[in-house]
Amino acid sequence: MKVTVVGAGAVGASCAEYIAIKDFASEVVLVDIKEGFAEGKAMDLMQTASLNGFDTKITGVTSDYSKTVGSDICVITSGIPRKPGMTREELIGINAGIVKSVSASLIEQSPNTIIIVVSNPMDTMTYLVHKTTGLPKNRIIGMGGALDSARFKYRLAEAVGAPISDVDGMVIGGHSDTGMVPLTRLATRNSVPVSHLISDDRLNQVKEDTKVGGATLTKLLGTSAWYAPGAAVSGLVQAIACDQKKMFPCSTFLEGEYGLNDLCIGVPVILGKNGIESIVEIELNDAEKAHMQESAAGVSKTNALLEL
């Protein structure tokens, strides 16, 4: 199993580290446009191998996509990060050009690869890859819902006073502060609805804190987060590489599912060796449907800014 990660910044390097530590891939290739940067990150990570007990080979290259040939899974994290006060949507002009160029270079070397898009605005960048590469929809996956759901579970556990392993919950919709749809109605602690354990006001606060999870960290850190995004990507990669058939909310191209068409947005999917094995349609109530429609309208508005 060979995995390529384009963009050796904080998110890309964290992704490579988590993949290596899980030790399911034979090789991880880090690619970056900055001279020597990916090589340095790869060397630093390889010097942790004996300490962390993994055998995955990590190599770094500067814009040499020939080294990525035969990659089973490619992760695109490249692009400029969010700055304080900047929305994901404001990134579109610069990052669209980067993602389009990178995806073309990757597919040239690995035509059978599965692409995971992390670059923001993620739903629109996933849509861009779908529209410009010709890859089947099951092999184009946007990472957003997995991260948003992890942040949701963090807030749920905090509110309930439980270990995170006790709680479960999912966020669907667009990967943006206004587009997320945290499914509070379906959140549980060991099968007990969380709504039975905390007040409606507290649960609503959990939802709102989840929706601004990324912006909160950007304000604190001065840049985008990286540990949780890297871990989220590694979870998706492992589910595909190991054919785990796990369910994650991911941005995928919809053709009528959830009443939506011609856009990529976060919905539950089953991930396995073929990428997206199936889309899972869950029954939403009227309020959730309305929020999903609003989220989709926002994503479509951003998509309209693309020059396809």
Please report the DSSP string for 154-218 in residue order.
HHHHHHHT--GGGEE--EEE-SSTTTEEE-GGG-EETTEEGGGTS-HHHHHHHHHHHHTHHHHHH
Phi, psi dihedral angles at 259 (to 5 degrees):
70, 20
In 3-state terms, what secondary structure has residue 6?
strand
- Is residue 209 packed enough to be buried (19+ CB in 10 Å), middle (13-18) or exposed (0-12)? middle
Question: What's the distance, CA 65 to chain centroid?
Answer: 22
CA dihedral defined by 104, 108, 110, 112, rounded to 10 degrees? 80
Residue 81, SS3?
coil
Per DSSP, the three-state class of 275 is strand
Determine the distance from the C-alpha atom of residue 195 to the mean position of all C-alpha atoms in its chain, rounded to a whole number: 27
| Cα(262)–Cα(297) distance, integer angstroms | 11
Active site amino acids: 175
User: What is the three-class DSSP state of 250?
Assistant: strand
C-alpha span between 19 and 3 (Å, rounded): 9
How many C-alpha atoms does 169 have within 13 Å on its Cβ side? 32
- Report DSSP state, residue 136: -
Could you please report the per-residue DSSP string of 140-167? Answer: EEE-SHHHHHHHHHHHHHHHHT--GGGE
